[in-house]
Amino acid sequence: KDSDQLDYKTADWAVNELSQKPKDPFFMAVGFFRPHVPLYASQEWFDLYPEESLILPPIRRDDRQDTPRFSWYLHWSLPEPRLKFLDESKQVKNKVRSYLASVSFMDSQVGRVLDALKESGLEDNTIIVCWSDHGYHLGEKEITGKNTLWDPTTRVPLMFAGPGISKGARCGRPAELLDIYPTLAELCGLKSVPQEIEGLSLVPQLKDAKAARSRPAMTSHGPGNDSVRTETHRYIRYADGSEELYDIRKDPHEFKNLASDPKTKKLRKKLAAYFPKNPAKPVEGSNARLIERKKDGSVYWQNTLIEKDAKIPEYE
- Residues 11 and 148 placed together within one structural domain of the fold: yes
Same domain? 155 vs 19? yes
198 and 230 both lie in a single domain = no
Q: What is the pLDDT of residues 132-177, one digit of tens each?
A: 999 999 999 999 999 999 999 999 999 999 999 999 999 999 999 9
Which structural domain range is residue 179 located in? 175-203
Which of 225, 228, 232 is CA-nearest to residue 270? 228
Residue 208 belongs to some domain of the structure: no
Task: Decide: 279 and 233 in contact? Cβ < 8 Å.
Answer: no
User: Is there a single domain that holds both residue 108 and residue 186?
Assistant: no
Given a cut of 70, the residues of the chain with pLDDT beneath it are none
Are residues 114 and 3 located together in one domain of the fold?
A: yes
CATH code assigned at 51: 3.40.720.10
Cα–Cα distance for residue pair 1/21, rounded to 1 Å: 29
Residues 83 and 161 in one domain: yes
Distance between CA atoms of residues 129 and 44, nearest Å: 27
Instruction: Report if residue 73 sits inside a domain.
Output: no
Quick one: 125 and 242 in the same domain?
no
Same domain membership, residue 222 and residue 88: no
Q: What is the rounded CA–CA span in Å between residue 109 and residue 3?
A: 10
Distance between CA atoms of residues 129 and 224, nearest Å: 31
Q: Is residue 315 part of a domain?
A: no
Consecutive H or E run containing 247:
strand 243-247
Domain match, 19 and 158 both: yes
CA atoms within 13 A on the CB side of 105: 29
Residues 200 and 208: beta-carbon distance below 8 Å? no
* pLDDT tens-digit map of 171-203: 999 999 999 999 999 999 998 888 888 899 999
Between CA 252 and CA 254 the distance in angstroms is: 6
Residues 2 and 125 in one domain: yes
Residue 248 covered by a domain: yes
